[in-house]
Amino acid sequence: MSKLDESLLTGLPPFSLLKRGQIRDILDQALPRRYDEGAEIFREGHDAERFHLLLDGYVRVVKTTEGGEQIIALHISPGQLFGIAPALNRDTYPATAVAASETLALSWPVRLWAKFTAEYQGFATESYETLGRRLGEMQTRITELATQAVEQRVAAALHRMATQSGRVVEEGIEIAFPVTRRNISEMTGTTLHTVSRLLSAWQRDGIVQSSRKHIVVTAPQRLAALSKPQR
């Protein structure tokens, strides 16, 4: 762990109020690991043995329905904690985490959760704020699935990814991690055929550019308008 400098964590909200020595102590207890795109970090229902901090890359959170269907619930961006089952008073993971791109993460044994939340100022506050934001986002997703038409759901999913993880490029806003049409269908509860049809139509209309695992939103305002209920 000596190769990981304290500066990796000093700007991140869970650790922003801590002294350098405290951050060093946290790093000394962490396990760093790289994951290839598509690698499973932990699985829904398995014992929650560790909690994680994403340093680089993106993580896709996947829930399995009672019928065995997989639904992408949300994406985790760099600098965020994930797999924080102790914050939910759970001893198993509530969802599966998959590396959406090449990813670097730190992790700690769950036995340290109580120590971190008790001893490190700001850690608990930020952790529970993060949890609240994610529950709110998932509630929004559930509402979209229940009330919106397919076109609105797909537009909302693309707009959300572009807003949360997008980077500005010459053509518009590029979603910063690989995303396939099947991924989008799993986010929006629709078929692969429907997603392909919509993306093809939006590309012809100059709203998006779509290629294998790569999407650029070329007209963000038009896409945002498509995500709203039509009057």
Region 2-17: what's the mean pLDDT?
Answer: 82
**Nearest one of 141, 146, 209, 220 to 179, comparing CA atoms:** 209
What pLDDT shows up at residue 208? 97
Region 99-105: what's the mean pLDDT?
Answer: 95
Q: Which two tokens stand for residue 44?
A: 């829904």
CATH no., domain 7-145? 2.60.120.10
Q: Which two tokens stand for residue 147?
A: 């009330």
Q: When comparing pLDDT for 137 and 108, which is higher?
A: 108
Q: What is the mean pLDDT of the chain?
A: 90
Lowest average pLDDT, out of 116-120, 146-150, 183-187, goes to 146-150
- Percent residues over pLDDT 90 in the chain: 65
Q: What is the pLDDT of residues 139-151, one digit of tens each?
A: 787 788 778 899 9
SS3 assignment, position 54: strand
Decide if pLDDT at 202 tops 90: yes
Domain 148-226 has CATH 3.30.590.10: no
What pLDDT shows up at residue 1? 42
List the chain domain ranges: 7-145, 148-226
Return phi, psi of residue 119, to 5°.
Answer: -105, -20
Which pTM does this prediction carry? 0.84
Orientation angle between helical segments 150-165 and 192-204, nearest 10 degrees: 70
CB 84 within 8 A of CB 108: no
How far apart (Å, rounded) are the C-alpha atoms in residues 184 and 205?
19
